[in-house]
Amino acid sequence: MTEIKEIINGCLKGNRRDQELLYRRHAAKLYAVCLQYSGNDEEARDILQEGFIKVFENLVNYKHEGSFEGWMRRIMVNTALEKYRSKHLLHRVDDIDQIPEPDAEPDNEDYAGLQAVDLMMIIRDLPPKYRMVFNLFAIEGYSHKEIGSMMNITEGTSKSNLSRARVILQRRVNAFTGLGRKVLNG
């Protein structure tokens, strides 16, 4: 039996040590996911907490098929989505017409100087609806149809939100790298 299977079995038996071991092994990676889906640390912490409780509650349903970390990540993403829905979308809003067209063509920059911590800061600065769509589409790989039903928006809104998110991200990345060069050159 692999080590992770032993730990999971220990958790299922209520072994406290295995429960904490499981948490400590994966908390840092999953907390990064929570931060990516939230605008502030408090919210990220709540998602991690609720997500991990769900992980332990649903561990009995885990079939040992596919990546265990991927399974836990999906639980965190779903928890983040539930939080988003409860906060932002009490009823269906179709705001496609309110989305302004991109006002500038993004440059094709060299992003070599960007660190993960910078990317995280940039993505967390996005407005919640753009951040959610971008994360679900670009990072998790969901289709617009799936995102539409997950976020209770139309497929068209999902596409436009993604487009808008990309423009904002591109602009901020450019600004960041441009600033970086300026400082270095200056």
Partner 1 sequence: MDNKDANIDLLFRNGLKDYEVLPPADVWDNISPAVTRNNRPYMILRAAAMIALLVTIGLLTSTWNSELAENSFQDTGTGGSIMQSAPAQPADVQLLADASGRDARKRLQPLQPASGSEAAGMTAVIAQSASIPEILTAGEAAEVEENTDRYRQIVPASTANQELNLTYFPYTVEKESFTREDTRKWSVAALVSPTYMSSFSSPANEAAKALGSAEQPVVSYAGGVAFAYRVSKRLSVQSGLYYSSYGNQISGISTFGGFRNYDQVKGNSNFEIQTTNGRVATNNADVYLIDNISDTRLATFFDKNSFDPVKASLQYLDNSLMQSLGYLELPLIVRYKVIDRAFDFNIIGGLSSNLLINNSVYTSAGGDRYEIGKTEGLNELLFSSSFGMGMEYNLGRNLSVNLEPTFRYFLNPLNSLGISNTHPYTFGIFSGLSYKF
Compute the distance between CA of residue 61 and CA of residue 39 in angstroms, rounded to an integer.
31
Q: How far is C-alpha 27 from the chain's CA centre?
A: 15
In the complex, minimum distance from the CB of residue 67 to partner 1, in angstroms, rounded to a whole number: 13
Can residue 94 be called a binding residue for partner 1 (CB under 8 A)?
A: no
Compute the distance between CA of residue 184 and CA of residue 182 in angstroms, rounded to an integer.
5
Place of tokens 């983040």: 80
Compute the distance between CA of residue 120 and CA of residue 170 in angstroms, rounded to an integer.
14
Can residue 38 be called a binding residue for partner 1 (CB under 8 A)?
A: no
> What SS3 class is residue 73?
helix
Site residues (CB under 8 A) for partner 1, limited to 118-177: 119-120, 123, 134, 137-139, 166, 169-170, 173
Applying CB under 8 A, which of residues 5, 9, 40, 57 lies at the interface with partner 1? 57
Compute the distance between CA of residue 128 and CA of residue 84 in angstroms, rounded to an integer.
8
Q: CB–CB of 119/131 below 8 Å? A: no
In the complex, minimum distance from the CB of residue 91 to partner 1, in angstroms, rounded to a whole number: 30
> What SS3 class is residue 89?
coil
Can residue 16 be called a binding residue for partner 1 (CB under 8 A)?
A: yes
In the complex, minimum distance from the CB of residue 38 to partner 1, in angstroms, rounded to a whole number: 12
Applying CB under 8 A, which of residues 8, 37, 38, 52 lies at the interface with partner 1? 52
Give the binding site for partner 1 (CB under 8 A). Answer: 14, 16-17, 19-21, 23-25, 27-29, 31-32, 35-36, 45, 48-49, 52-53, 56-57, 106, 108, 111, 114-117, 119-120, 123, 134, 137-139, 166, 169-170, 173
